[in-house]
Amino acid sequence: MVDAPGAGLGAGASLWLILGVLLPVLAVTATAFAKVSVVLGALRGGLGLPEVLPLPVLSGLAAVLATVIMLPTAQRALEAAAPIEDTPAGYAGAVERGWPVWEGFLVQHTRAEDLGTVLAATTRLDPSKAAPTPPDRVLAFLLSELAAAFQLALAVLLPFLIIDLLTANTLAVLGFHLLSPTVVALPFKLLLFVAVGGWGLLVRGLVASYG
């Protein structure tokens, strides 16, 4: 007789398997990582040459900055979840105790209209729903984060767009049609970014948006 798939897994192994799938998803969708990544991606695109800000560097910076932002919330959630027993029931209880802290963070940074949009959509699937579920909270939070990220990205991209337009027009007037405007504009973009303290402005702006 052939055992059913997963029949040999204990409750603890099954729990760790579920956590292994859910935690990476939540790390992207229920933290500051999505907003930080979008804004840094806009900076990378605005520079015009992706090689200047390699993707591994951008991803690492986004992960570290998101960790700094989320650390106070994570500490409060862990304090609320303690003590954590090394059993499936113990982990389930810890999640139940720690979730309200994380939910408070999500609620604080979710726009009412985004939550209303999510509830209007999900209520059509489940008319008996009486309150937002954790997936509803995460989805509404992610929509709010993306909206805020696009606003910050616009502020990042506009100065670079102006430099691109000025460079392209200047090269056209001078007749340098063989020169790439993107390559010529890059030093001016970097000079502007460094002159205004771009990294400091980005970090302060992102962190302040969660204050």
Per-residue pLDDT tens digits for 9-44: 455 556 566 667 778 888 999 999 999 999 999 999
C-alpha–C-alpha distance, residues 211 and 16, integer Å: 33
User: To 10 degrees, the CA torsion angle through 167, 177, 186, 37?
Assistant: 90
DSSP states of 25-55 as a string? Answer: HHHHHSSTHHHHHHHHHHHHHHHS-GGGS-H
* Rg from Cα positions in the chain: 23
C-alpha–C-alpha distance, residues 106 and 198, integer Å: 28
- Per-residue pLDDT for 71 more than 80? yes
50 or 149, which is more confident: 149
pLDDT at 54: 92
pLDDT at 178: 84
pLDDT at 18: 67
pLDDT at 87: 77
C-alpha–C-alpha distance, residues 149 and 65, integer Å: 14
Domain boundaries, the chain: 13-152
CB 140 within 8 A of CB 115: yes
Helix (H, G, I), strand (E, B) or coil at 109: coil
C-alpha–C-alpha distance, residues 188 and 204, integer Å: 23
For the whole model, what pTM was predicted?
Answer: 0.86
pLDDT at 2: 46
Nearest CA to 161 among 183, 195, 185, 179?
A: 185
- Per-residue pLDDT for 1 more than 50? no
- Per-residue pLDDT for 200 more than 70? yes
Across the chain, how many H-helices and E-strands are there? 8, 0
In this prediction, residue 8 has a pLDDT band, given cuts at 50, 70 and 90, of very low
pLDDT at 90: 78
Q: Using a CB cutoff of 8 Å and minimum separation of 24, what contacts does 76-79 make? A: 76/101, 77/101, 77/102
**How high is the mean pLDDT of the chain?**
88
Other C-beta atoms within 10 Å of 16: how many?
Answer: 14
Which tens digits make up the pLDDT trace of 115-170? 999 999 998 888 888 789 999 999 999 999 999 999 999 999 999 999 999 999 99
State the average pLDDT over residues 89-112: 90
Contacts of 121 (CB under 8 A, 6+ apart): none
State the average pLDDT over residues 174-200: 92
State the average pLDDT over residues 82-107: 86
Under DSSP, the state recorded for 82 is -
C-alpha–C-alpha distance, residues 171 and 187, integer Å: 15
pLDDT at 13: 59
Helix (H, G, I), strand (E, B) or coil at 63: helix
pLDDT at 17: 66
pLDDT at 12: 56
State the average pLDDT over residues 171-194: 91
